[in-house]
């Protein structure tokens, strides 16, 4: 959906009734696919991906790759073929990069392959400061220099590798960062010598990316731990093999929260429950009855849920991307719950809208809130501030009494594939309309 097409969701809530039934299919992981597509630049032949989520951010990334000279073909729904052989340089489209935070990961493979990359400060959701100094400092350790170039009101970074090629380095991340870990893991694949990444993030998407690169011939060890080693070499080759994108753990968790809140008999399919153990344990502590399978989760009707406190943390801790749906959950539990957002400042701003719906939430400071429940939520007109809080508003609207209108659906479409169609299948009264 184009950002210029303004659409909204109209949702009739169930006033806390446990009425939803059916199956909810989990899509391919947004945060995995957005790194796998750029990783294709490290290959000398065509790469085929399946289970790619059909979301706005994937479209943007595909456009970025096309703008750089790659041939990106959609073979069928969720299946993309990328031919990176025609890319000639590392210049990224200014406008698309500005609107897509994940564009920064392209700097790793671009710089590794061409010895130069030009890009603006990347954009994305407004959920607090996301500085890129961690990237610039890391590339300097790998033998690159950074300069700023301004054309009119457009300012870009230009990073050049001394001698035209990156060299291996030891990089200690001052804070764990999924995007930085992935970017430098890709940068190290074609660099000269060994790259060692310390205090690396451990998210499943990082291990997934490493598995893809290793399948093409990369020498990577330690992915999924805090220390990753990459032995640089030549271009990778896929040899016609297909690579399937892992299930989206954030979508899995969001669906699970909705199922516990409003489900009578729901099965969440095509997922990997192991990746959301932190959420599952908290929900069980709250009193939820959940049946866990290898690739599915079954939720029957749950009653008498009690409060639990939540502290977001890097994986394997509680994901910051599930914090807003979890707060909606806590408004329906009995007792007081402290929510401590440790990753992003400003990510609790959406709670003001939940208070308008009738939630009892005290904001202590930019990182902490107290949720008192249960509260009877009432339908309101809402504005989606980012993709995660946007889905949280959808969940809150389903639980609430009366009609809610969720504007700025574009933000939700950035991360969730045909969300209203899947929700309709389990009984949610939701429709998409143009403003």
Instruction: List per-block mean pLDDT (blocks of 10 residues) for the chain, which spans 435 residues.
Output: 74 92 98 97 97 95 93 96 90 84 90 92 48 88 91 86 95 94 98 98 98 98 98 96 97 98 97 98 97 98 96 97 98 98 92 98 96 97 94 98 96 94 97 93
Residue 119 confidence (pLDDT) = 87
Whether this model's pTM surpasses 0.85? yes
Q: Where in the chain is the domain with CATH 3.65.10.10?
A: 7-27+247-434, 30-244
Topology of domain 7-27+247-434 in CATH is UDP-n-acetylglucosamine1-carboxyvinyl-transferase; Chain (3.65.10)
Half-sphere exposure of 115 (CA within 13 A, CB side): 7
Residue 207 confidence (pLDDT) = 98
- Return the CATH class of domain 30-244: alpha beta
Residue 205 confidence (pLDDT) = 98
Tell me the C-alpha distance between 312 and 335, whole Å: 20
Half-sphere exposure of 274 (CA within 13 A, CB side): 7
Catalytic, out of 125, 142, 308, 391: 125
- Residues 220 and 213: beta-carbon distance below 8 Å: yes
Tell me the C-alpha distance between 253 and 398, whole Å: 16
Tell me the C-alpha distance between 111 and 188, whole Å: 10
Residue 122 confidence (pLDDT) = 67
Residue 155 confidence (pLDDT) = 82
Residue 123 confidence (pLDDT) = 52
Residue 246 confidence (pLDDT) = 98
Told to judge if 271 belongs to the known catalytic residues of this protein, a careful annotator would answer: no
Tell me the C-alpha distance between 285 and 308, whole Å: 7
Find tokens 């990156």 and name the residue: 166
């Amino acid at each position: 959906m184009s950002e210029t097409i303004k659409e909204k969701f109209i949702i009739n809530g169930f006033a806390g009734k446990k009425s939803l039934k059916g199956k909810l299919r989990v899509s391919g992981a947004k945060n995995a696919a957005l790194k796998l597509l750029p990783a294709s630049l490290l290959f000398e032949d065509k790469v085929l991906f399946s289970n790619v989520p059909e979301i706005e951010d994937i479209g943007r990334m595909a456009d970025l790759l096309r703008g750089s000279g790659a041939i990106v073909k959609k073979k069928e729904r969720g299946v993309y073929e990328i031919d990176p052989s025609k890319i000639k340089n590392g210049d990224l489209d200014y406008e698309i990069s500005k609107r897509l935070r994940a564009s920064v990961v392209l700097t790793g493979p671009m710089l590794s392959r061409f010895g130069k990359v030009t890009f603006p400060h990347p954009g994305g959701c407004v959920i607090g400061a996301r500085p890129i100094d961690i990237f610039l400092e890391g590339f300097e350790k790998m033998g690159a220099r950074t300069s700023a170039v301004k054309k009119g009101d457009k300012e870009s970074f230009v990073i050049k590798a001394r001698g035209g090629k990156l060299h291996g380095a030891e990089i200690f991340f001052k804070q764990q960062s999924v995007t930085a870990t992935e970017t430098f893991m890709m940068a190290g694949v074609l660099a000269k010598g060994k790259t060692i990444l310390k205090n690396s993030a451990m998210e499943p998407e990082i291990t997934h990316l490493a598995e893809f690169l290793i399948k093409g011939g990369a020498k990577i060890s330690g992915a999924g731990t805090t220390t990753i080693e990459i032995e640089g070499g030549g271009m990778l080759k896929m040899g016609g093999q297909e690579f399937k994108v892992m299930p989206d753990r954030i979508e899995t968790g969001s669906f699970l929260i909705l199922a516990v809140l409003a489900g009578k008999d729901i099965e969440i399919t095509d997922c990997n429950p192991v990746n959301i153990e932190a959420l599952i344990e908290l929900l069980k502590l709250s009193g939820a009855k959940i049946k866990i399978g290898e690739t599915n989760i079954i939720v029957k009707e749950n009653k008498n849920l009690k409060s639990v406190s939540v502290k977001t943390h890097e994986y394997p801790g509680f994901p910051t991307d599930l914090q807003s749906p979890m707060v909606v959950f806590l408004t329906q539990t009995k007792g007081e719950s402290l929510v401590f957002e440790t990753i992003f400042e400003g990510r609790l701003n959406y709670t003001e809208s939940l208070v308008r719906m009738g939630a009892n939430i005290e904001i202590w400071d930019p990182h902490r809130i107290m949720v008192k429940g249960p509260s009877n939520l009432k339908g309101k007109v809402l504005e989606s501030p980012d993709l995660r809080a946007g889905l949280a508003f959808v969940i809150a609207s389903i639980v609430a009494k009366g009609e809610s209108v969720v504007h700025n659906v574009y933000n939700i479409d950035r991360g969730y594939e045909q969300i209203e169609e899947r929700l309709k299948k389990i009984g949610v009264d939701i429709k998409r309309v143009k403003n």
